[in-house]
Amino acid sequence: MDNIKVAIIGAGFIAHYHARALKATPNVQIAAVVARKKERAQKFAIEYGIEHTFTDTLKVAGNDSIDAVIICTPNQFHAPYAIEFLKNGKHVFLEKPMAINAAEGRQIEKTAKQYNRLVMVGHMWRFDTDVNYIKETIASGKLGKIFKTKGYGIHENWGPSGWFAKKELAGGGALADMGVHAVDAVRYLLGDPRPLKVYARIATHFGDYDVDDTGIMVITWDNGTESIIESGWWQPHMDGPEASAGIFGTKGYANLFPTFLKITAGEESFEKIIPDLPNRKEHCDQTIYDKQMEHFIASIKNNKRPNPGLSEGQIVLNIVDAAYESAKTGEVVNL
């Protein structure tokens, strides 16, 4: 498979990041774009030199010349579109979260295995240089045993509107939108442990919508680490930008965004290390998406399971479902 033909499903904000990433990846052609409004699809196609535009997703599903699709639609359509494309022999890249709930995620996995197609999920912080620096530091043992983490997925003094704030289309609010970044980033940093328990308090304080805009959860992992995750929109303050995290070990501390280490050097002193890492043009830098897409295309060419894939996406969905259940009952949910 020398030249891979890809269709982009959805032409919103995040689709532009994926289009730029595809354009930067060798031996890839963006063959089509689908948008609900014809004018939007045409405008997107002109910007990225795409030959075909559609308003009907099913027309792309049945097109045998398309090898793979990038799905960046409202969450409600992730599972039905993914399943349809998988049945038609397409490899699938899904924006996060993988589906609107864990049950839909399992349906995607079942279909992918049945039709022997690959699925990758857009938890893009796994491709960030700072994230991988902290991950390697943890794995080296320099911080000792990791006993606690704090992670953040928060918008300060801002929040999305439209489909993001409608439960039917999004499945949830700030937790499903921003919290999933914090959850997957921390899990990746820790070496992808299995979640055992989830306890959460979730509320709506800032808007007249049927989704959450404030959340705190505690995840117990099978490696003994406890992770505190905060999610939110319209918050008056945030302790760090998207996917920022604090990692507490018995020998030191690591901070992600801004990225630095504090290594214990005695009872009342420590050594602070600020690594020499590349400057970021923006927090969610295009380079992260470029690396992510390069990995997806390489996975297709080598017929190798992508990471993050079905398992990683499903575990995040399991945690999110458990958090909503815990917030509803007031009890810890065992996974």
Domain identity same for 67 and 178: no
> In this structure, are strands 245-249 and 146-156 parallel, antiparallel, or unpaired?
antiparallel
The CATH number of whichever domain residue 46 belongs to comes to 3.40.50.720
Residue 311 lies inside a defined structural domain of this protein = no
* Structural domain range at position 299: 4-123+287-306
Residue 232 lies inside a defined structural domain of this protein = yes
Domain identity same for 129 and 106: no
Q: How many domains does the chain have?
A: 2
Domain identity same for 242 and 153: yes
Q: What is the pLDDT of residues 113-157, one digit of tens each?
A: 999 999 999 999 999 999 999 999 999 999 999 999 999 999 999
| pLDDT reading at 265 higher than 90 | no
Q: What is the pLDDT of residues 282-327, one digit of tens each?
A: 999 999 999 999 999 999 999 999 999 999 999 999 999 999 999 9
The Cα 104–Cα 334 span in angstroms is 20
- Name the band, by pLDDT with cuts 50, 70 and 90, for residue 110: very high
CA-nearest of 142, 155, 203 to 182 is: 155
Domain identity same for 14 and 139: no
pLDDT value at position 1? Answer: 61
CA-nearest of 97, 101, 77, 100 to 10 is: 77
Domain identity same for 107 and 205: no
CA-nearest of 39, 91, 28, 40 to 61 is: 91
| Region 91-113 average pLDDT | 98
pLDDT value at position 2? Answer: 76
The Cβ of residue 201 has, within 10 Å, a number of other Cβ atoms equal to 13
Mean pLDDT of the chain: 97
Instruction: Please tell me the least confidently modeled range out of 69-83, 109-123, 258-272, 285-299.
Output: 258-272
pLDDT value at position 121? Answer: 98
Domain identity same for 132 and 236: yes
Q: What's the pTM? A: 0.97
The Cα 263–Cα 265 span in angstroms is 6
The CATH number of whichever domain residue 206 belongs to comes to 3.30.360.10
The Cα 292–Cα 307 span in angstroms is 9
**Strands, E, within the chain: which ranges?**
4-9, 28-34, 52-54, 68-71, 91-94, 119-121, 146-156, 195-203, 214-221, 226-235, 245-249, 252-256, 260-264, 270-273, 333-334
* Token pair recorded at residue 66: 């398309």
Domain identity same for 214 and 302: no
